[in-house]
Amino acid sequence: MNEGRGSTIDRREFLLRASATAAAMAATLRGAPARALQAGSTLSLPPLPYSQNTLAPHISETTISIHYGRHHRAYVQNTIKLIAGTDFEKLALEEIIRKASRQPDWAALFNNAAQVFNHTFYWHSMKPGGGGEPSGKIGERIKESFGSHQKFVDAFSSAAASQFGSGWAWLVDDGDKLRAVKTANADTPLTMSLKPLLTIDVWEHAYYLDYQNRRADYIKAFSDQLLNWEFAEKNLA
């Protein structure tokens, strides 16, 4: 699932050609039943927590239809195939991720299962009309850990912008304090004894159609307009 090394125009044209098919597919997926990401026998593509056009203009419906309808869906399908007939088939998704991360022979399973988790977490890390300074317990923890909301934004944005190549930036609970960390490719805080609270996807397919190479603009839109503090608050519990 790595991004290709073609030219800027090549990548954009490829994604645009895929968008019509993805949009039709995603319309069907929106009606998929909500199933918990539990054991392999019930593992399925979870529904988005909002309509695909709801995050526009910050993230377009076309981007989400491709990102969710093709990339996320493929990770789910690959995970189901890889665990079929194995002991992993009886495990919950997070258990699959932790167990596979310790076994080099299961690197492909880790990459796909972790991406199922990461993407699901990402969709819930955003909401229409999000962003801004948080209140409640999460607001208190942000000030205690970073000094101010703006210092959090700076640290989180720096983690996202400085991740070389594909990966993620996270707000995590490290016990005594909250931290902004980054992970490469499919890596996830679940294997680092850290509790994830929020994440932003900085793989190119998450933002390229809308922002091209302007990752910083995408990160700013996420922090200012989309970040779901209520989701972070629930994850503190």
Residue 213 lies in a domain: yes
Edge-to-edge strand list for the sheet holding 178-184:
178-184, 167-173, 195-201
Do 117 and 198 belong together in one domain?
A: no
The fraction of the chain above a pLDDT of 70, given in percent, is 82
* Mean pLDDT in residue range 138-146: 98
Q: What is the pLDDT of residue 194?
A: 97
User: What per-residue confidence (pLDDT) applies to 9?
Assistant: 34
CB 167 within 8 A of CB 185: yes
- What are 51-73's pLDDT values in tens digits? 999 999 999 999 999 999 999 99
pLDDT of residue 17: 42
What mean pLDDT is reported for the chain?
Answer: 86
**Residue 147 counted as domain residue:** yes
Q: Contact 126/226 with Cβ under 8 angstroms?
A: yes
Question: Pick from 69, 103, 124: which residue ends a domain?
Answer: 124
- What does the pLDDT look like over 8-54, one tens digit per residue? 334 444 344 444 333 333 333 333 322 334 444 469 999 999 999 99
CA-angle at 212, arms to 196 and 49, nearest 5°:
40
CATH classification of the domain holding 47: 1.10.287.990
Give the range of the structural domain holding residue 21, as residue numbers without chain letter: 8-124
In a domain, 220, yes or no: yes
Distance CA 18, CA 12 (A): 10
Task: Please report which confidence band the pLDDT of residue 7 belongs to, taking 50, 70 and 90 as the band edges.
Answer: very low
Token pair for residue 24? Answer: 């039709």
Q: Which helix (H) or strand (E) element contains residue 37?
A: none
Examine the fold and report which residue of 124, 154, 172 is the final residue of a domain before the chain moves on: 124
* 97 class by beta-carbon count within 10 Å (0-12 exposed, 13-18 middle, 19+ buried): buried
* Helices 149-162, 136-146: crossing angle, 10 deg rounding: 70
> How many distinct structural domains can be found in the chain?
2
2, part of any domain? no
Read off the pLDDT band of 237 (50, 70, 90).
confident
93 domain residue, yes or no: yes
